[in-house]
Structure 1
Amino acid sequence: MVTPQVYKYKCFWGVEVVVDDDGDGGGEVKGGEVPRFEFRVTHEAKLKELLHKISSLEIKLCSDGVKEFIRLLKGNTGGELLHLYVRSLRNCSELLDAWKLRRGKPGLSYIIKLISAILGHPDGVYDPKDGERIAISKVLNKFARLLVEEYMVELQKELDSKEAKCQNAALLLLASIVRRQSGLASEVAKKFDFKSKTFCRLAEYKKNQKEKRVIKHSTRKAFVGFAMSFLEVGRPGLLRWVLQQREMYSGVLRGLGNDDDETIIYVLSTLRDRVLVEESLVPPGLRSVLFGSVTLEQLVSISGRGNDESAAELAYHTLVLVCTDPCNGLMPDLKRSPSPLRGNPKRLVGLMKRLKATEVSYHRDLLLAIVSGSPFFGSAYMEEFPYNLEDFSSST
Structure 2
Amino acid sequence: MSEEDFSGNGPEEVQTLLTNSEVDPGLLSNETTTTTLTDIIVKAATTTLAPILIDYRPNPYRIGLLAFKCLLIILLFTLSCTIRKDFLKFFVLFLIIPLFIEAGFDIFTEIHARTAIFGAQQFDWEYFNLSPRENDSVTDWQKHAVESYGQILQKYTTYQVYTRDQLFSIVSYVTGDFVFWSLLFSTTTVFHYAHKAIVRPEQITYDPICSSFFKIQIVPVIFTAIDTLISIYEIPQWSYLIVLFVLRISACVFSFIIFTQAFASLFLFCRRKDEVTKTSPYEHVRNSKIRLFLFLLFTIIIHAITAPYIIWSGLTIASDVGHLLGFNWYLPMHFASEMFPLHLTFFLVRPYAFIFLGLFLLNPYRRRFVKFFCPCCRRH
TM over 0.5: no
Greater fraction of residues in helix: 2
Per the shorter chain, which TM-score range? Answer: under 0.3
Q: TM-score, normalised by structure 2?
A: 0.24
The higher relative CO (CA closer than 8 Å, separation ≥ 6) is in 2
Higher strand share: 1
